[in-house]
Chains A and B, each alone.
Chain A
Amino acid sequence: MNFYTCFPNALLHYGWLSPKTIRVMKLVSFFMIITCLKLSASAYAQRITINVKQQPLASVFSTIEKQTGYQFWYKSKDLENAGKVTVNLDNVELTQALDKVFEGQPFTYELANKTIVVKPKEKTIIDKIGAYLRKQLITGIVTDEKDLPLAGATVKVKGTNKTAQTDTDGKFKLSDVDDAAILVISYLGYETAEVQANANLKIRLSLTSADLKELSVVSTGYQNIPKERATGSFVQIDNQLLNRRVSTNILDRLDGITSGLIFNKISGPIGVAPTNEKLGISIRGRVTIDDKVSADPLVVLDNFPYEGDINNINPNDIESISVLKDAAAASIWGARSGNGVIIITTKKGKFSQGLKIDLNSNITIGTTPDLKYSRNYLKSSDFIDVETYLFDQGQYNVNLSDVNFYPVISPVVELLVKRKADPSNPAILEQINNLRKVDVRDETAKHFYQKSINQQYSLSLRGGSEKSIYSLSIGYDKNKNNLVGSGSDRLTINSTNTYRPFKNLELMASLIYSKSNSAIGYQYTSPYPYVSFADENGNPLAVPYGRRTSYLESTAALGFLDWKYRPIQEQAYNDNTTKVNNILLRGSARYSFTNFLNAVLQYQFETENGKIQGYRDPSSYEARNNINLYSQRASNGSFTYPFPKGGILYLTDRNLNSNNLRAQLNFNREFSTKHIISAIAGAEIREIVNDGNNRILYGYNDSFGTATTNLNFNVAYPVNPSALGSIVLPSPSGTVTGLTNRYLSYYANGAYTFLDRYTFSLSGRKDGANIFGARTNDKITPLWSSGLAYEISKESFYNFSIIPYLKLRASYGYNGNVYNASAYLTATYGVSSQTGLPTATITSAPNSELRWEKIRNKNFAIDFAAQKNRITGSFELYEKLGKDLIEDALIPASSGFVSYKGNAATVQTKGLDMILNSINVDGNLKWTTNFLFSYNKDRVISYDTKYTSQYLTSNQANSAGPSRYGLYINEGNSLFGIYSFKSAGLDPLNGDPRGYLNGAVSKDYVNILTNTKIDDIIYHGSSRPMNFGSLRNTFSYSGFLLSANVTYKFNYFFRRKSTTLVYADVLNSGSVNADFIDRWKKTGDEIATSIPSVVYDFNYNRNTFYQSSETLVEKGDHIRLQDITLGYNFTKNALRKLPFSSLEIYSYVNNIGILWRANKYKLDPDLSDYSFAGYNSYPLPRTFSLGIRTTFK
Chain B
Amino acid sequence: MKKIIIFILLVQVMVGCKKQDAWLNAKSNKSDVIPSTLEDFQALLDNNSVMNANYPSIGIVGADNSFVLDAVALTAGQVNERNAYKWSKDIYENSLEGGAHWQYPYQTIEYANVVLDGLAKSNISENTTFNNIKGQALFFRSFAYYNLLQIYAKQYTKETADTYLGLPLKVSSDVNVVVSRSSVQAVYDQIINDLTSAERLLTDVPLFKTRPSKPAAQSLLAKVYLNMGNYAKAKEYADLVLSSNYSLIDLNTLNAALTYPFPTFQSNNNTEILFYCTAVGLTFTSTSNLLVLDELYNRYDDNDLRKTIFFRTNANLTHSFRGRYSAGMTIFCGLATNEIYLIRAECLARLGNYQAAIEDINALLRQRWKKDNGISRYVDQIANTENEALNIILLERRKELPFSGNLRWEDLKRLNLDPRFSKTLSRTVNGQQYTIPPNDSRYVYPIPLIETNFNPLIIQNER
Contacts and interface: CB of A to CB of B under 8 A. Distances in A.
Interface of A: 3-9, 17, 21, 24-25, 28-29, 398, 401-405, 591, 593, 599, 601, 661, 663, 665, 682-683, 685, 691, 714, 716, 718, 722-727, 735-742, 744, 746, 768-773, 776, 779, 820, 822, 824-830, 832, 834-835, 837-843, 845-846, 890-898, 900, 948, 950, 958, 960-961, 1006, 1009-1010, 1064, 1098, 1100-1101
A405 B316 CA distance: 14
B69 A832 contact: no
A830 B31 CA distance: 8
Most buried by B among A3, A683, A723, A822: A723
A842 B93 contact: no
A739 B27 CA distance: 8
Nearest to B97: A960
Contacts of A405: 288
B376 interface: no
25 contacts: A6-B16, A8-B13, A17-B5, A21-B5, A24-B8, A398-B69, A401-B315, A722-B259, A723-B259, A723-B287, A726-B258, A726-B259, A737-B31, A742-B24, A744-B15, A746-B15, A776-B20, A826-B32, A827-B35, A832-B47, A840-B35, A890-B453, A894-B179, A896-B175, A960-B99
B168 A958 contact: no
Given A770-B24, A838-B46, A898-B103, A892 B288 contact: no
B448 A25 contact: no
Interface string B436-461: 00000000000010110111001000
A727 B255 CA distance: 17
Interface string B88-118: 0000011111010011001101110110000
A725 B259 CA distance: 5
B392 interface: no
B210 to A, nearest CB: 6
B104 to A, nearest CB: 9
A896 B109 contact: yes
A842 B7 contact: no
B7 A841 contact: no
A24 B4 contact: yes
A325 to B, nearest CB: 30
A1067 to B, nearest CB: 15
A948 to B, nearest CB: 7
Nearest to A737: B30
A846 B113 CA distance: 14
Interface string B67-100: 0010100110000000000000000011111010
A403 B35 CA distance: 49
A1050 B327 CA distance: 59
A555 B39 CA distance: 48
B12 A8 contact: yes
Contacts of A742: 23-24, 26
Contact of A839 (B14, B46, B69): B46
Nearest to A715: B267
Contacts of A28: 1, 4
Contacts of B328: 716, 725-727
Interface of B: 1, 3-5, 7-18, 20-21, 23-35, 39-40, 43-44, 46-50, 52, 69, 71, 74-75, 93-97, 99, 102-103, 106-107, 109-111, 113-114, 167-168, 170, 173, 175, 177-179, 207-208, 210, 258-260, 264, 266, 287-288, 314-316, 320, 327-329, 448, 450-451, 453-455, 458
Given A737-B31, A827-B40, A843-B32, A895 B178 contact: yes
Contacts of B21: 776
B27 A740 contact: yes
A282 B98 CA distance: 37
Contacts of B35: 825, 827, 840
B170 A894 contact: yes
A293 to B, nearest CB: 15
A835 B266 contact: yes
Given A770-B24, A893-B103, A958 B451 contact: no
B30 A739 contact: yes
Contact of A663 (B3, B11, B107): B11
Contacts of B47: 830, 832, 839-841
Most buried by B among A663, A683, A820, A950: A663
A834 B210 contact: yes
A398 B71 contact: yes
A404 B260 contact: no
Contacts of A958: 96
Most buried by A among B28, B43, B74, B451: B28
Given A591-B3, A896-B107, A1010-B94, A820 B28 contact: yes
A893 B99 contact: yes
A1023 to B, nearest CB: 23
B33 to A, nearest CB: 5
A837 B23 contact: no
Nearest to A685: B14
Nearest to B32: A826
Given A5-B17, A403-B315, A896 B111 contact: yes
A771 B316 CA distance: 60
A846 B117 CA distance: 14
B110 A895 contact: yes
Given A740-B28, A826-B33, A404 B9 contact: no
Contacts of B103: 893, 898
A976 B223 CA distance: 52
Most buried by B among A404, A665, A820, A1009: A404
A736 B30 CA distance: 9
Contacts of B97: 960
Contacts of B13: 7-8
B24 to A, nearest CB: 5
Given A738-B30, A776-B25, A835-B210, 5 more contacts: A4-B11, A5-B17, A768-B20, A829-B33, A890-B453
A718 B258 contact: yes
Nearest to B72: A398
Contacts of A769: 24
Contacts of A5: 12, 17
B24 A663 contact: no
B334 to A, nearest CB: 13
A718 B261 CA distance: 10
Contacts of B315: 401-403
A824 B175 CA distance: 12
Contacts of B32: 772, 822, 826-828, 843
A898 B16 contact: no
Contacts of B27: 740, 770, 772
A599 B170 contact: no
Contacts of A739: 28-30
A1006 B99 CA distance: 20
Nearest to A691: B30
Contacts of A401: 315-316
A980 B213 CA distance: 54
B298 to A, nearest CB: 22
A722 B258 CA distance: 8
B29 to A, nearest CB: 6
B173 to A, nearest CB: 8
Contact of B175 (A601, A768, A846, A1010): A846
B43 A829 contact: yes
Contacts of A826: 32-34
B91 to A, nearest CB: 13
Contacts of A768: 20, 24
Contacts of A834: 48, 52, 208, 210, 266
B43 A7 contact: no
- The 8 A-B pairs of least Cβ separation, nearest first, read A896-B110, A738-B30, A7-B12, A892-B455, A840-B43, A1010-B94, A960-B96, A839-B47
A485 to B, nearest CB: 35
A960 B29 contact: no
A397 to B, nearest CB: 8
A403 B317 CA distance: 12
B288 A402 contact: yes
